[in-house]
């Protein structure tokens, strides 16, 4: 609970004992019973507008609306990665790494146009994009920068939480560091580990202009 009048809960699209729409309905009943509010704001914790954001979550929210038997409005906000504060956050994180060259590393999508947001963000950060699942890979981008004579390279993972992929990225960076001994590779942390991350999420939750899909 953030205050006496605002409740915060979590729900999951996958790996839950209940489908997302049932979790939303259950929390809506709880929220209305615990407060005088009849509005529930839903924030998709996703960095990019993939299939879950564009298709799956709106369908689940629509189902939840049809099942609600109480006076509670569901407001589906735009996904977290659309928050304007993300670029300043990434810029601050990169500035803390002592390097003159930057790489922004995301998972990568094979869907046509799926990586455009990453490439645009990398451009604004004066960084090279790289991907875990597709080309250009981290190894390719680092080899390119090393061949150009760069000796300090910052790598910022574009992942919300630590997990198997971020651990594998750290292992790869360690191997690349051994390969390029004269180059210093500086690996950043997943976004949720930044002190400013929680403030960014709270701002997105509480701002009225964050509603993206009604």
CATH of the domain at 111: 3.40.50.1400
Summary mean pLDDT of the chain? 90
Q: How many CA atoms lie within 13 A of 29 on its CB side?
A: 9
Query: Cis ω on the peptide bond leading into residue 34 (within 30° of 0)?
Result: no
Look at residue 74 and tell me if it is in a domain.
yes
- Structure-model confidence comparison of residues 201 and 188, the more confident one: 188
Domain containing residue 53: 20-81
Tens of pLDDT along 2-54? Answer: 444 578 899 999 999 999 999 999 999 998 998 767 889 999 999 999 899 99
Look at residue 12 and tell me if it is in a domain.
no
Most confident of 35-39, 85-89, 182-186, 204-208: 182-186
> Shortest CA distance to 53 belongs to which of 65, 45, 64, 63?
45
Asked if 158 and 112 sit in the same domain, the reply is: yes
Asked if 132 and 159 sit in the same domain, the reply is: yes
Domain boundary among 40, 55, 81: 81
**CB-CB contact of 56 with 21 (8 Å):** no
- Structure-model confidence comparison of residues 6 and 199, the more confident one: 199
The pTM of the full predicted model, rounded to 2 decimals, is 0.86
- Structure-model confidence comparison of residues 128 and 100, the more confident one: 128
Asked if 103 and 43 sit in the same domain, the reply is: no
Look at residue 204 and tell me if it is in a domain.
no
Asked if 73 and 90 sit in the same domain, the reply is: no
Look at residue 96 and tell me if it is in a domain.
yes
Asked if 96 and 77 sit in the same domain, the reply is: no
Asked if 106 and 145 sit in the same domain, the reply is: yes
Confidence of residue 71 (pLDDT cuts 50, 70, 90): very high
**CB-CB contact of 78 with 101 (8 Å):** no
> What are 104's strand-pairing partners?
129, 156
The burial class, CB within 10 Å (0-12 / 13-18 / 19+), for 191 is buried
Domain boundary among 81, 109, 129: 81
Number of domains in the chain: 2
Asked if 48 and 71 sit in the same domain, the reply is: yes
Look at residue 10 and tell me if it is in a domain.
no
């Amino acid at each position: 609970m953030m205050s006496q009048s605002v409740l915060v809960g979590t729900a999951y699209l996958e790996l839950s004992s209940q489908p997302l729409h049932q979790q939303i309905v259950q929390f809506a009943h709880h929220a209305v019973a615990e407060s005088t509010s009849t509005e529930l704001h839903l924030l998709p914790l996703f960095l990019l507008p993939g299939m879950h954001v564009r298709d799956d979550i709106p369908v689940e929210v629509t189902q939840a609306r049809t099942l609600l038997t109480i006076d509670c409005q569901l407001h589906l906000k735009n996904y977290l990665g659309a928050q304007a504060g993300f670029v300043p956050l990434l810029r601050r994180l990169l500035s803390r790494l002592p390097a003159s060259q930057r790489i922004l590393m995301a998972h990568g999508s094979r869907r046509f146009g799926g990586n455009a947001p990453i490439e645009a963000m990398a451009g604004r950060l004066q960084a090279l994009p790289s991907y875990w699942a597709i080309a250009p890979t981290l190894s390719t981008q680092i080899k390119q920068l090393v061949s150009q004579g760069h000796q300090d390279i910052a790598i910022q993972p574009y992942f919300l939480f630590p997990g198997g992929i971020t651990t594998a990225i750290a292992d790869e960076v360690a191997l690349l560091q051994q390969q390029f001994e004269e180059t210093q590779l500086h690996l950043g942390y997943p976004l949720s580990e930044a002190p400013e991350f929680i403030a960014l999420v709270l701002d997105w939750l509480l701002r009225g202009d964050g509603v993206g899909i009604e």
